[in-house]
Structure 1
Amino acid sequence: MDEISLLRRSRNDIPERAPAAITRGRAALFGQIDGETPVALFSQLGDDTAFAPLPSRRRRRTAAWAGFSALGATALVGALVATNVLGGPGWQGTAEPAAAAALESAAVAALQVSDPVVSPGQYLLVRTDAVYGATGTLEEDADRIRRENNGNVQPEDLVSFLEKMRDEVFVPADREDLWVWVRCMRTPVETFGPRSEALAAQQMRESAEVGAADILQHLPGGIFPGGSAYGSYNGGNGSSGDYDALPRDPRLLLERIYQLNGSSGQSRDGQVLVWIADTLRSGIVPADLRAAIYQAAALIPGVTITEQEATLNGTTGIAIGRLETASNRRQDIIIDPATGGFIGERYVQLDGAGGFPPGTVTGWTAVTTVVVDSPPTDTSTCSDAAPGSDGR
């Protein structure tokens, strides 16, 4: 169901629109907004006019996860449409119009699709299948590096390969109860020539020496041994798991993320997309915040559609990303505009840095959530079929 269909529930004078026409209309709308000055409706107020948002009441968490009512979703859809058509406080529409339209569709859909409802005694399984880049130096090069460069590693000394891993987190209906975390050992999945193969074999030997293995761990209340909470985000001075503290207004949320990131990252705008990918990767971000995050992403300069049909671990969606010119590396998030679901994220290295061939997907994570009746008692699931090297 698109936003026009949802609005029709509250008004009977909305004409039918084909899905393709709606998508084209969104893209045209964003293209018009991107290239023009503020609409005449607000032009007489002056360039310095600011609009203060209405205060909002913080949500109270419940043990069962429920979605929005039709009335609530309709109101929020109306707010999203109004923001995109008329412009919110300081709204610039700085993403590519097609990318902004896809993000808007995902935001609207996220409000229509209920979050999973976990009944007492059940668990939400958040499974992340991932491939990460591993970069290092070979033991056989150690003497030469010490002799020629005083021990300083040069770019040409670096060698890389890809390794796969899987995490399974079982979240109880009452989040104060005991969580179960299954961590599957990392293993090589793709190499790039003889030196890359040698580094992968070297790491496997080192892992065996330290007794690396699959691990099952219990997390009281979802808290890791170090004190951080599962699903926490970069909260500026440390991590935070308080989703209620984040604004749902897209512009205010974007400004808040800028503040939390500070001067970290290669660029101010690029680090926002990194924050978004890191936060959504947990798989437990509530629908209303996920919608606001998509809307905030539509305000990031340089965000474009990088692939119309991107597949991660067998699930296909639209890849939306941003290129960091300093490192020539691109961060993508992959979303399903029809459901508002977050499929995953990936990094693409456009040049041959770090020993990777140009254009290599140097890391990706696919997120899958499902409600189950009980958590495992061992790590046997780690022996199931694992993801491919490129997530396809």
Structure 2
Amino acid sequence: MNDHTDSASPERPGDREEIARLLPAPADWDLPREHHLRRRELLMDHIERDRAATPVRPARRLLRPAFLAPVTALALAGLLTAGIALGDGDGKPATGTAADMRPAAALLRQISDAAGQRGTLDVRDDQFVYTEEKVREADLSSGKAVVSPLKDSEKWIAQEPGPLKKLGLIRSDGETFPMNAELGDTEGTPAGFSRPTYHWLGSLPTDPGELLDYLYAKAPHAEGRQRDQAVFEQIGELLGGVVPPRTAAALYQAAAKIPGVTEAPRARDAIGRSGLGIAREDKRYGVHTEWVFDEKDFSFLGSRSYLTKDAPYGKAGTLLSSTAETGTAVVDKAGQVPGGTDGTRTARRS
């Protein structure tokens, strides 16, 4: 417990439950990015080496808000601003009515509802999921963040459950090359977090709480990373592309339960499209990550991450990556462009 209440108004037993009872119920509002993930892990490696000489206290988990004061508009506003929080202390998000009243949770409920209403696709194991994007990203190989110009990127991801040694194709700025198995997967990479096929995504729990527990237990993350941030970013890796509607809806609701998730009012994707933003900051590493959604139909537009404090490889505000999803489809062959022949089928964005 680490609540900060006014010394003149000490918390009384039962206050929390009484306030929750008096407050109205919250309103019910009606593929993969492997190269980004690798660059982010490279970034974290740089940061970890920079901090290696200085002991770092374990990152303290951000906790969920709980209302602990008399029910007046002024007191309630003060508590929301102060960010009073509770958690279960084991690296998993706390639950409760107060947490669901955050603006970010309300927005994610709307996004989830819209995603759940999109049509289910019939994707065969011998097909490929196609994603077209515009991308900017920072190259850290020189020790300084060198941000690339805007580039075109197309990916064809094999849908066979695997394991596979050839995962598909990627075309970046006109150059096409194969996507090989993940490092260390000598027998090939199976469907999973490193290669989220449509059927694998459809096998994930669709209850938001169960899905979040699964992500906290199974999602890969670098040692020393804040677990809440790792799970948030893993959900981001699964967004966009072609995702089963029920899975997409559950992912958004699961994200709403992660401590520290907020709205991002000025969110823009790589090509400048403004939209509704959902964000979380990794305060230990000083990295802000946000997702951008269309204001009208809540479809996923792209993502962006940047530094929030100075680092040896860049100043605060330095862009690390930015994407804009411009098309998705299910196609029969790697390298096939939507609108061609051989059974191309355009998919809605998730």
Quick check: 2:303–2:323 contact (8 Å CA) kept in 1? yes
Q: 1:338 to 1:117 in 2, by over 3 A?
A: farther
CA deviation vs aligned residue, 1:268-290 (integer Å, no higher than 9, x gap): 21111111111225x12211101
1:312 aligns with 2:270: yes
Match of 1:104 in 2: 109
CA deviation vs aligned residue, 1:32-90 (integer Å, no higher than 9, x gap): x96459xxxxxxxxxxxxxxxxxxxxxxxxxxxxxxxxxxxxxxxxxxxxxxxxxxx95
Q: 1:366 to 1:311 in 2, by over 3 A?
A: closer
The DSSP-based 3-state class of the residue aligned with 2:146 is strand
| Counterpart pick for 2:290 among 332, 337, 357 | 332
The DSSP-based 3-state class of the residue aligned with 1:313 is coil
Residues 23-62 of structure 1 aligned to structure 2 (within 5 Å) = 25=27, 35-36=66-67
1:162 aligns with 2:129: no
The aligned length equals 244
Quick check: 1:122–1:371 contact (8 Å CA) kept in 2? no
Q: Structure 2 counterpart of 1:97, which letter?
A: R
Q: 1:373 to 1:325 in 2, by over 3 A?
A: closer
Residues 35-184 of structure 1 aligned to structure 2 (within 5 Å) = 35-36=66-67, 90-91=95-96, 94=99, 97-115=102-120, 125-137=130-142, 158-163=143-148, 164-170=150-156, 181-184=169-172
Q: 1:327 to 1:371 in 2, by over 3 A?
A: closer
Residues 1-392 of structure 1 aligned to structure 2 (within 5 Å) = 25=27, 35-36=66-67, 90-91=95-96, 94=99, 97-115=102-120, 125-137=130-142, 158-163=143-148, 164-170=150-156, 181-184=169-172, 214-217=175-178, 227-228=188-189, 232-233=192-193, 241=197, 242-261=200-219, 264=222, 266-281=225-240, 283-336=241-294, 338-371=296-329
Cα shift at 1:256 = 0.8
Cα shift at 1:113 = 2.4
Match of 2:75 in 1: none
State the superposition RMSD in angstroms.
Answer: 4.2
**In structure 1, what is the Cα distance between the partners aligned to 2:229 and 2:101?**
15
| TM-score normalised over the length of structure 1 | 0.51
Q: 1:271 to 1:286 in 2, by over 3 A?
A: same
Q: 1:365 to 1:285 in 2, by over 3 A?
A: same
Cα shift at 1:363 = 0.9
Unaligned 5+ residue runs, structure 2? 1-25, 30-63, 69-93, 338-350
Looking at secondary structure, tell me which structure has more helix per residue.
1
| TM-score normalised over the length of structure 2 | 0.56
Quick check: 2:108–2:253 contact (8 Å CA) kept in 1? yes
**In structure 2, what is the Cα distance between the partners aligned to 1:361 and 1:309?**
13
Q: 1:173 to 1:293 in 2, by over 3 A?
A: closer
Match of 1:204 in 2: none
Structure number with larger C-alpha Rg: 1
Quick check: 2:269–2:324 contact (8 Å CA) kept in 1? no
